[in-house]
Structure 1
Amino acid sequence: MKKLLSAAATILAVACLLTGCNEKDSKIKIGVIQLVEHPALDKSYQGFVDGLAEAGYVNGENITIDYQNAQGEQANCVTIANKFVNDKDNLIFAIATPAAQAVANLTKKIPILVTAVTDPETAKLVKSNKKPETNVSGTSDLTPVAAQIALLKKIVPEAKKVGLLYCSSEANSIFQINIAKEACAANGLEYIEGSVSNSNEIQQVTQSLVGKVDAFYVPTDNMLAAGIANVAMVANNAKLPVIGGEEGMVVSGALATYGINYYELGKLTAKQAVKVLKDGANPADMPIEYLEKFDFTYNKETAAAIGVTISDNL
């Protein structure tokens, strides 16, 4: 038996030498909590994983990533957050505001990086976006809301009234909607708010605004992003354009957007993670970061279906 154990130990040691095992690196655990599955958040996660790999932190080799999806349920966010805290993870990556809030409420010690959070300060995750002074930092998905409303006016110059669709319980959505209201006023547009509290209300609320508005605007709202196909179905049947907050909405049937690249946002957050893991950086001193480049995207099929011509100069 002793000979067998000795042989096994030798084999393990040789394997570690051949694969570059490192006892310290192998203990790095990163917990990932994602609020819900939809293209924008999925891309943020993939960008984060790829960004870490490019920096030499490869899942399954020298780090372990524990990915958990809350399926849009706040109770699941709390359960997952508790798991990561109990596991004593080295770093927690939270995707979307409710997921970030759940984790931040349970630990003040484990470094937390967030993404797809429009305004961490308003969400009370940090004391200031410039200097967090908490164990939380990360990246914001603040999109050019005013430019998106201006885009709506360019595409539909005859529009007089806009339906603003959002989830009333998402702080990031309310933040964007307030900007959208100001942008509507600046562009000579009236607006009607269409708020929902759960995904089952999306189709009904959208339908209730048909005949009352000339177009819809949907910010980077997690609930609406996950249910954007329902919005698009109602709006497209009524030949009403939908300007979305991000590209994934356009892919799923909205007309157009002028927004950020969530994959690149995830990679930007990965750079912050490397600073924490490798250099010992403290999130309290790390400003919230933003992408500076925005992309125009439109759905050709939707444009044809609702009879809208997209100008080449857009």
Structure 2
Amino acid sequence: MLEVRRRGLTTLLGGTAVGWALAAHAQVPEKIPRLCFLTFDPGTLTSNRFGAFFEGLRDLGYANGQTISIDYLSVEGNGERFPALAEECLRLKADIIAVSTTPGAQAAIAATRTIPIIMIGLGDPVRTGLVGNLARPSGNITGLSLMVPEVATKRLGLLKDAIPGISQVLVLSYLADPIAPLQVKAMQEAAQPLGLTLQVHDIRTANDLPAAFDAAAREHAEALLTTSESIFVAQGQRVTELAARYKLPAMYCFSNDVVDFGGLMAYDVNYSRVIRRAASYVDRILKGAKVSDLPIEQPIKFEFSINLKAAKALGLTIPPGVLAIADKVIE
């Protein structure tokens, strides 16, 4: 009887052990993909200008902490930190990396040639050497481009059209970003036929801004234009305030909010729409698409915004022909 009981106990324990093993196996969570978002901009997943990108991911079924793990890694305005944060993406075992700046993309490519990298609206991936061509991107990077050098010359032309009498233009540029010199060169080539002289000032940190405006006053600058780097988004309000203080009519490179909070003019893509589109690249890569099969997209529509309140404060009258082509006019 005792032997029978022992066999029964052994059978019972064996069954229990198998049950525990099966239960433990059932409780192992399924691995979810990890996205590393590498950016210049300070902030968090819920506090930054990339909200449309993260909303796009959610609409595609990617909920942070449930169906995807997202690491928001910012250099906090110090571009020299990009290589270290790119290495951090590797340490975190990212399955995919999204980048919002050209220096960030360069650092990511230097860190890995295998993890897919998605560009969130970069300036010019061909001329900055990130890819060989747009139709079939080489290596492990694809995404969206903003055609920045060409758009810079368009901004300069609109600025001259809006204020025909100007001849001296202050240009703020973050020349550490490879896309900045390309914009400056394009504008310099366009400036002479327009009768304009550009006063280019390199802005590396926010602390450089007051000195640039002081120098512009001494050099008799009559208008302001910024190139398209993230620092001028992060410092957009401060640039706008300084432009107002020095009475410099300005054309801005990022239309999101800048004209609404007092900037004179902006010419840009609908940035929220562009970066929302970038979410679809993440989705397709995570579902098995190859980087080389995803052409780099460029925007086809741009928006021109004018703030007539700002124009009045500067004593400007915007020509009717310029107002007629504006997509948005704040009165």
Structure 1 residue 276 corresponds to structure 2 residue 285:
yes
Once the two structures are superposed, residues 255-281 of structure 1 have per-residue CA deviations (whole angstroms, 9 ceiling, x without a partner) of 111111221111121111122111x22
Kept in 1: contact 2:115–2:140 (CA 8 A): yes
Superposed, which structure 2 residues align to 1:176-187 within 5 Å?
176-187=183-194
5+ long unaligned stretches in structure 1? none
1:240-255 matched pairs, under 5 angstroms: 240-248=248-256, 249-251=258-260, 253-255=262-264
Q: Secondary structure at the match of 1:225?
A: helix
User: Which stretches in structure 2 are left out of the alignment for 5+ residues?
Assistant: 1-14, 327-331
> Offset of 1:31 from its aligned partner?
0.9
Structure index of larger Rg: 2
Alignment match of 2:124 (pick from 116, 119, 128) = 119
Question: Aligned ranges for residues 57-76 of structure 1 at < 5 Å?
Answer: 57-76=62-81
> Percent identity over the alignment?
26
Which amino acid in the other structure matches residue 54 of structure 1? D
Aligned to 2:4: none
Higher RCO (CA < 8 A, seq sep 6+): 1
Contact 2:77 2:205 in 1 (8 A): no
Between 258-267 and 118-127, report the one with greater CA deviation.
118-127
**Displacement after TM superposition at 1:213 (Å):** 1.8
Q: Aligned in 2, Cα 1:285/1:11: closer, same or farther, shift over 3 Å?
A: closer
Per the alignment, residue 95 of structure 1 pairs with: 100
Distance 1:288 1:202 in 2: 34
What is the SS of the residue equivalent to 1:125?
A: coil
Structure 1, 99-108 or 50-59: larger mean CA deviation:
50-59
How far is the alpha carbon of 1:221 from its aligned partner?
Answer: 1.9
Q: TM-score when scaled to structure 2?
A: 0.81
Amino acid at match of 1:277: L
1:85 Cα deviation after fit: 0.9
1:92 positional shift: 0.6
TM-score (norm 1): 0.85
Amino acid at match of 1:121: V
Q: Give the SS at the match of 2:111.
A: coil
Shift of 1:67: 1.4
Q: Which residue of 2 aligns with 1:267?
A: 276
For 1:171, the equivalent position in structure 2 comes to 178
Inter-partner Cα distance in structure 1 for 2:229 and 2:199 = 17
- 1:158 is matched with 165
Displacement of 1:12 after TM fit? 11
Asked if residue 200 in structure 1 is aligned to residue 199 in structure 2, the reply is no
- Alpha-carbon distance, 1:208 to partner: 0.5
Cα distance between partner residues in 1 of 2:59 and 2:29: 18
CA RMSD of aligned residues (A): 3.0
Instruction: Kindly state the Cα deviation for residue 73 of structure 1 after the two structures are TM-superposed.
Output: 1.8
Shift of 1:251: 4.4
CA contact under 8 A between 1:30 and 1:92: conserved in structure 2?
Answer: yes
**Separation (CA, whole Å) in 1 of partners of 2:62 and 2:78:** 30
Q: Deviations over 1:73-119 (max 9, x none)?
A: 23432232112112221111111112222211100010011124201
Question: What is the CA–CA distance in structure 1 between the aligned matches of 2:25 and 2:52, rounded to whole Å?
Answer: 33
- 1:202–1:224 Cα contact (<8 Å) kept: no
Number of residue pairs matched by the alignment: 302
